[in-house]
């Protein structure tokens, strides 16, 4: 697969900034607690589905203190339409307990501290920091992975190396914008199946229409 040239990268960056400079997550949330829960639930699940699930969850458990005392079966029933709901129910309760016990009930706003919580890996922590704090970070989900490979920004086989490639290629102070841009661009235009190439902002730099998934 051909790699993006410096000119290609500049075209991509300019288009993303033009069209997505104000982009934010499509997950619905009111505070940092709700955002972190929504991101955890969104792993291998659509934002649309998560937004259907979370109103009932947050109505019953409006704070991290409430969730820390939750009954596991009750949480499972509320989120059972979410992928991997058994594991996610356990993780969000464990996460809440850890926040109460170790952070006085305050969601940590630090990448390394977030990753100490159940259900929070590098991607989840980065997405939280990008959305809530506009941190200059990159996070790679299925959309970002696919778009980055189609545009020749990475040929890595996993998300970790893909993230490193993107940080290197898109270096600057706008990584959070590029993350949000690639998510939305991949979700609505550069789709896995039947990409809408007629709506692409830079068809001249596309390297392939093949669909990519991390190994």
Binding positions for [4Fe-4S] cluster are 190, 197, 200, 206
Catalytic choice (13, 88, 123, 169): 123
Do the Cβ atoms of 144 and 167 come closer than 8 Å? no
Q: Is 15 helix (H, G, I), strand (E, B) or coil?
A: helix
d(CA 60, CA 70): 9
Residues in binding site? 190, 197, 200, 206
d(CA 190, CA 197): 7
Q: Is 141 a catalytic residue?
A: yes
Structure token pair of residue 197: 């190439």
The DSSP H or E segment spanning 72 is helix 72-79
First-residue to last-residue Cα distance in the chain: 17
Catalytic choice (88, 141, 165, 169): 141
Do the Cβ atoms of 149 and 165 come closer than 8 Å? no
Give the residue numbers annotated as catalytic, written as ranges: 123, 141
């Amino acid at each position: 697969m051909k790699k993006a040239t410096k000119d290609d990268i500049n075209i991509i960056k300019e288009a993303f900034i033009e069209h997505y400079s104000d982009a934010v997550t499509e997950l619905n949330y009111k505070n940092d607690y709700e955002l972190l829960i929504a991101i955890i639930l969104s792993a291998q699940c659509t934002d649309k589905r998560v937004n259907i699930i979370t109103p009932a969850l947050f109505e019953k458990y409006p704070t991290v203190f409430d969730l820390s005392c939750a009954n596991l079966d009750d949480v499972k029933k509320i989120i059972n339409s979410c992928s991997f709901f058994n594991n996610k129910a356990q993780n969000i309760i464990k996460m809440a307990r850890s926040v109460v016990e170790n952070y006085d009930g305050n969601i940590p706003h630090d990448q390394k501290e977030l990753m100490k919580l159940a259900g929070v890996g590098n991607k989840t922590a980065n997405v939280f920091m990008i959305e809530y704090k506009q941190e200059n970070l990159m996070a790679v989900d299925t959309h970002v992975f696919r778009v980055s490979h189609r545009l020749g920004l990475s040929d890595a086989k996993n998300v970790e190396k893909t993230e490193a490639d993107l940080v290197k290629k898109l270096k600057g102070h706008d990584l959070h914008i590029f993350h949000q841009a690639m998510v939305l661009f991949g979700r609505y235009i550069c789709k896995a199946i039947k990409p809408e190439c007629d709506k692409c902002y830079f068809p001249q730099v596309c390297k392939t229409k093949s669909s990519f998934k991390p190994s």
